[in-house]
Each structure stands twice: as structure tokens, then as C-alpha cells.
Amino acid sequence: MAQIVCKDLDDCEVVNSSSITKIMIPFDNSKHASNAFGLALTLAKKFGASVTMVSVIQEDISRSWVDGTPAREKGMSGNSTNSIKEKLKASEAQAKKFGIQFDSEMITSAGVADSLISFITARKIDFVIMGTRGNGMAKEMMLGRVSTSVALNANCPVLLVK
């Protein structure tokens, strides 16, 4: 499929192959992430790209100490983790229904944005589509901390979806 690539607003050209081959969707079980998934399927079908859905299970450093070091506790209960696993399986079924190559991964980490950025680099992802859910006090007025960090620091284009 031909694609138009612009180096600048006055320097665009048609290229014969798509530069979008690996699309990543960070998944946090939000409506915004589901919206991003639908758009990712649309673009993957159009460009013949694969889709990878990544869910980062956040580890929190608790106030308790074990052997002189802070203990780590998973930030999500087992039920929440199982719910995410079920959603990832359902997402895979939907992607396969449309003939789209799909894989998913769950990562446990203390830093969600840093983990996503590392994943993007390591897997050579060339396009990220993610929700914009903010969890802060002014969530209606601002992008989420994770989506902002990924958009600013990823080495590929990032499309934010609400």
C-alpha cells in the first residue's frame, strides 16, 4: 500500500511500502484503551501491521520493610489481573476475527511509562496508539501522566485517543 511521507510541510512524497508494521496498544482496562484498540485494528488491517497489546501491572513500594529493604507489593489484586488476562484473550479473538496478527504481554514494574518506552524500543514498535485517561485531580483537563510521558519519550509516533 502506498503511503505519503512528509519530511516537512513542503516536502512530501509517495512511498510504496508502509512504515507502519508493528502497532502497540498500552492497555489499562479503561474505555480510552478500548477506543485505542478499535483504531489500532482499523489501521493494522489497512497497513497489514501486527498489533501488540501491553498491560503493565504496577508494583508499589510498601511502607513495610523486609531485611532492610522496602517490600514490593503488586498494585493490583489477583482478580484485577485475571480480568486483564481475560480482556487480552478477548482482544486476541477480535484481532484474529479480522485476520490481524496479535500478541499481548503483561509486565510487572514500578514505572509504567518507563516500562512502555523500554518495550517500544526493545520490540522496535513503529506506531503506538493509546488512551489518554488521566487519574489526577484535573483528569478532565489534562492528559494522563503515562500517556504524556510515552508521547514525549517514545522513539516512534504516538497517537492519543480519548
Please state the pTM of the whole predicted model: 0.80
pLDDT in tens, 40-94: 999 999 889 999 999 998 876 554 555 555 555 444 555 578 888 999 999 999 9
Backbone angles phi and psi of 32, in degrees to 5: -65, -40
Q: Which residue has the cell 512528509?
A: 6
| Count of alpha carbons within 13 angstroms of residue 101, beta-carbon side | 7
- Range ranked top by mean pLDDT from 95-104, 105-114, 139-148: 95-104
Q: Reply yes or no on domain 18-161 having CATH 3.40.50.620.
A: yes
**25 CA to centre of own chain:** 3
Domain ranges of the chain: 18-161
What is the per-residue pLDDT across 8-39, written as a single tens digit (0 to 9) for each? 888 888 876 667 899 999 998 889 999 999 99
pLDDT single digits (tens) 120-155: 999 999 999 999 875 544 444 456 889 999 999 999
CA gap 65, 10 in Å, rounded: 59
23 — phi, psi (to 5°)? -105, 135
